[in-house]
Amino acid sequence: MPVEPQPTTWVIPPAETAGTGDIVGVGADLLPGTILAAYRSGIFPMPLRRRVLGWWSPARRGVLYPARLRITTSLRRSRARYEIRVDTAFADVVSACADPARPGAWIDASIAAAYEELFDLGWAHSVEAWSRDDGSLAGGLYGVAIGGLFAGESMFHHRRDASKVALCGLVDLLDDGRAGRVIDCQWQTPHLASLGGVEVDRDDYLGILAAALDLPLPPVFGGRRDG
């Protein structure tokens, strides 16, 4: 089971504080207790600009329900080229996601270190797609698992469809027949929409979140197998 960290010393404002915008506030810290309290409130951290930490709750939230994942014929063929592993290369996945050459790169050293600490405590996880041809890490994603919520943070690929295959692997891990499990995608994108992601209002997301947090953690992420 994940280890619960010391509670945050910060007061987490309601997600509704963002109003019609997406940002709740700035500052605070990236200690595990602060990040987990934010996720449980429907908020996530992302730098607003260099050395300015923002806390976000999008007015329109992207989510993916495991049962609604859309797998095309070509993606189904791609899955055969990769092996899915969990938590075997967390730091490598974060490093690849943080590549400053990527468009819109936002993961800095402080974010990477914070999620490494969450990984050590059993909250953050990586789902990796490894090439069956040469055994290399071809793609993956990372995020935080709390109850029935998987808060996706970032994904990458070095080979075609590898990040999509990693997402399929995550869905396989979550799709255990329990209604209410959900992947938080933060903002909807055409890429996520093509895979079955949908966009919901903040109020609807907070209801989805509350239901998901009541569910047991999947065994693969440290939950009880009889939970």
Residue 8 within any structural domain of the chain: no
Q: Return the pLDDT at 65.
A: 95
Query: The whole model's pTM is what?
Result: 0.94
Q: How many domains does the structure of the chain reveal? A: 2
Residue 72 within any structural domain of the chain: yes
Q: What is the mean pLDDT of each run of 10 residues along the chain (227 residues)?
A: 96 94 95 98 92 94 94 94 98 96 87 98 98 97 98 96 96 88 95 93 98 95 70
Compute the CA torsion angle 180, 62, 74, 98 (nearest 10 deg). Answer: -110
Residue type for 78, please? S
Same domain, yes or no, for 67 and 162?
yes
Question: For residue 28, what are the domain limits?
Answer: 16-59
Q: How many CB atoms lie within 10 A of CB 88?
A: 13
Residue type for 35, please? I
Q: Return the pLDDT at 103.
A: 78
Same domain, yes or no, for 49 and 91?
no
Same domain, yes or no, for 50 and 71?
no
Residue 24 within any structural domain of the chain: yes
